[in-house]
């Protein structure tokens, strides 16, 4: 996207943020009129087409969502659980068809039946109490199991605000170099999917000379099936915020942005409340605790776009541009938000930093495996006997996650889709061969990603699941590169034709060529990653798919 727009947006920066202004316009009027769009464009010295291009992109600002009052979750976990037709049936008794929209995903994968109404999420048995929810505007919280198999770094008891203040005071007495060394020693790798060492990011950003730097928490990684980020934001938010402050202190940043999915309204509220809790404890502002470290947070609610889980698209989004993926290099650590050095990491990664600084990098590195240190949060969906969020040491056998933590499955499952829509599709017989770490998954042709698990039942047609994956990618593509934008649509068309026409079979070589083009040519992991589960399905479920593919 345009560097000029980045610089123009930076004039008002985070204080009078362009992206937030567009969101407010949508909330108040459902869709901006030409007069409104022109006024914002003139105020920020950008073109009206830029403003329109941004608003027309997001699920919750585009004109097609005008007048929607309730939203049904269309995420993968709810899809395979087959609960959403019943949800739509109940909603149709209270809302006209034009008033019902869709969201993906609400993070209620542990009990499904998920829908969003009046700014709140609902799931499980809530749909049976819909009349009271509508008439009384009742807010209902969900509940799920939280436990650990060994070490508890992210699932331990939440401390008091005074304890977190004491930790901050203590770390501010140490040098940036000392903290960075401990983080590098820990071997902590990004938990969002790529597994890139955070220590390298921090060091790269620290070494760039600039008048301002940013720490951005990517809380918009909306992988259907994953709700571990939501758990941290709603139950362990101080760990996330303190982790961001540690990163900021190391690199010399004075501003932090928490960019949170609109589909997680409770997370937005709780994180904002925790920011104010930090402020009341004098943990924010200028010269914190008499040090030379100053810091402020900005919590931004996203507007519905899976692509914003990609770090450069997220930065463009904050600037008020269309969230299109940027070509790299330069990497965000050198040229990120408002073209300033920026470290972007996901929720779980940043939330690990307080434990590392408190206990030392060597102690963290001793947990897990040599190349995948620490613990990993795992999201188990409703197919498990005991669904929930679990923390397990890296290197834990996947079989133990399934049997010891999840207590097995409620009914027969033929595959696990682990790591979101871009993760590997693992046949049930391969569970025994995998351990919970980056290397094990990669060497077996899969990807750990968020470690979210969507369980595909024995009776769910795999061809329908592949259709869902292509539809998801086609809808969520930012549109910047041809392989993703066109490839996902062509993949969807091929699969849909095979489903609808019993005389048509997909040419296997054609599909392989399409997947190879997407994998090699896409700018980011959306177009480049979606071929993985399709390839896994074609390899391990050849017999089932033979009805739809020809040799």
Quick one: 189 and 320 in the same domain? yes
Q: How far is CA 196 from the centre of its chain?
A: 16
Average pLDDT of every residue of the chain: 94
Residue with tokens 């005991």: 386
Alpha helices (H) along 258-345: 265-280, 311-318
Quick one: 241 and 114 in the same domain? no
pLDDT of 37 over the 90 cut: no
What DSSP string runs through 419-434?
SSTTSEEEEGGGGGG-
pLDDT of 451 over the 70 cut: yes
Share of the chain above pLDDT 90, in %: 87
Residue 127 belongs to what domain range? 70-143
First to last CA, the chain: 42
Work out the average pLDDT over 260-275: 97
Quick one: 281 and 346 in the same domain? yes
Query: Could you report the per-residue pLDDT of 153-162, keeping only the tens digit for each?
Result: 999 999 999 9
Quick one: 395 and 314 in the same domain? no
- pLDDT band at residue 28 using 50, 70 and 90 as cut-offs: low
Quick one: 346 and 245 in the same domain? yes
Which whole-number Å values give the CA distances from 171 to 214, 357, 482, in the listed order?
19, 8, 47
Instruction: Report the predicted TM-score, pTM, of the whole model to 2 decimal places.
Output: 0.96
Quick one: 302 and 176 in the same domain? yes
Quick one: 528 and 476 in the same domain? yes
- Whether residue 370 lies inside any domain: the answer is no
pLDDT of 66 over the 90 cut: no
Strand ranges, E, within 214-350: 214-219, 255-260, 296-301, 342-346
Contact indicator for 303, 296 with CB cutoff of 8 Å? no
Quick one: 198 and 210 in the same domain? yes
Domain count, the chain: 5
- Pick from 473, 471, 413, 422: nearest CA to 446: 422
Query: Could you report the per-residue pLDDT of 159-183, keeping only the tens digit for each?
Result: 999 999 999 999 999 999 999 999 9
- Whether residue 371 lies inside any domain: the answer is no
Instruction: Determine the pLDDT at residue 386.
Output: 98
Quick one: 28 and 59 in the same domain? yes
Instruction: Determine the pLDDT at residue 8.
Output: 85
Query: Could you report the per-residue pLDDT of 468-489, keeping only the tens digit for each?
Result: 999 999 999 999 999 999 999 9
């Amino acid at each position: 996207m345009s560097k000029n727009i980045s610089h123009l947006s930076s004039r008002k920066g985070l204080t009078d943020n362009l992206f937030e202004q567009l969101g407010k316009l949508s909330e108040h009027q459902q869709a901006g009129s030409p007069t409104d769009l022109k006024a914002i464009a003139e105020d920020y010295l950008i073109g009206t087409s830029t403003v329109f291009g941004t608003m027309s992109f997001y699920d919750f600002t585009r004109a097609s969502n005008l007048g929607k009052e309730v939203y049904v979750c269309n995420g993968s976990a709810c899809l395979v659980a087959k609960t959403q037709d019943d949800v739509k049936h109940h909603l149709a008794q209270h809302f006209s068809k034009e008033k019902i929209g869709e969201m993906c995903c609400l993070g209620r994968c542990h009990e499904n039946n998920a829908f969003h109404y009046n700014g709140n999420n609902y799931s499980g048995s809530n749909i049976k109490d819909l009349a009271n929810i509508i008439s009384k505007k009742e807010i209902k919280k969900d509940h799920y199991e939280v436990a650990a198999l060994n070490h508890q770094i992210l699932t331990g008891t939440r401390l008091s605000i005074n304890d977190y203040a004491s930790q901050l005071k203590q770390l501010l007495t140490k040098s940036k170099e000392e903290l960075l060394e401990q983080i590098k020693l820990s071997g902590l790798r990004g938990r969002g999917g790529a597994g890139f060492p955070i220590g390298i990011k921090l060091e790269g950003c620290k070494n760039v000379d600039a008048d301002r730097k940013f720490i951005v928490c990517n809380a918009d990684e909306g992988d259907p099936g994953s709700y571990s980020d939501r758990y941290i934001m709603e139950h362990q938010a101080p760990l996330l915020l303190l982790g961001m402050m540690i990163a900021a202190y190391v690199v010399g940043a004075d501003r932090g942005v928490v960019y949170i999915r609109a589909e997680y309204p409770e997370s937005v509220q709780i994180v904002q409340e925790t920011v104010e809790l930090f402020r009341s404890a004098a943990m924010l502002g200028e010269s914190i605790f008499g040090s030379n470290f100053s810091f402020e947070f900005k919590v931004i609610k996203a507007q519905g776009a899976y692509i914003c889980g990609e770090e450069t698209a997220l930065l463009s989004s904050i600037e008020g541009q269309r969230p299109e993926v940027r070509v790299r290099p330069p990497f965000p650590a050198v040229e990120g938000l408002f073209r300033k050095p920026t470290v972007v990491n996901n929720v779980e990664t940043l939330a690990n930093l307080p434990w590392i600084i408190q206990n030392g990098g060597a102690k963290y590195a001793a947990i897990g495996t040599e190349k995948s240190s620490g613990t990993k949060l795992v999201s188990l969906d409703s197919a498990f006997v005991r669904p929930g969020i679990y923390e397990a040491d890296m290197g834990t056998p996947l079989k133990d996650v399934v049997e010891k933590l999840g207590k097995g499955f409620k009914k027969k499952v033929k595959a696990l889709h682990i790591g979101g829509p871009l993760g590997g599709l693992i046949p049930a017989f391969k569970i025994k061969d995998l351990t919970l770490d980056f290397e094990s998954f990669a060497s077996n042709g899969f990807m750990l990603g968020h470690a979210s698990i969507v369980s595909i039942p024995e009776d769910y047609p795999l061809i329908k699941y592949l259709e869902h994956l292509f539809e998801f990618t086609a809808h969520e593509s930012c549109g910047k590169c041809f392989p993703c934008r066109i490839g996902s649509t062509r993949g969807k068309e091929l699969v849909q034709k095979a489903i609808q026409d019993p005389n048509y079979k997909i040419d296997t070589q054609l599909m392989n060529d399409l997947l190879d083009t997407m994998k090699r040519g896409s700018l980011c992991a959306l177009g480049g990653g979606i071929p993985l589960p399709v390839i896994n399905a074609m390899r391990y479920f050849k017999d089932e798919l033979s009805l739809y593919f020809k040799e």
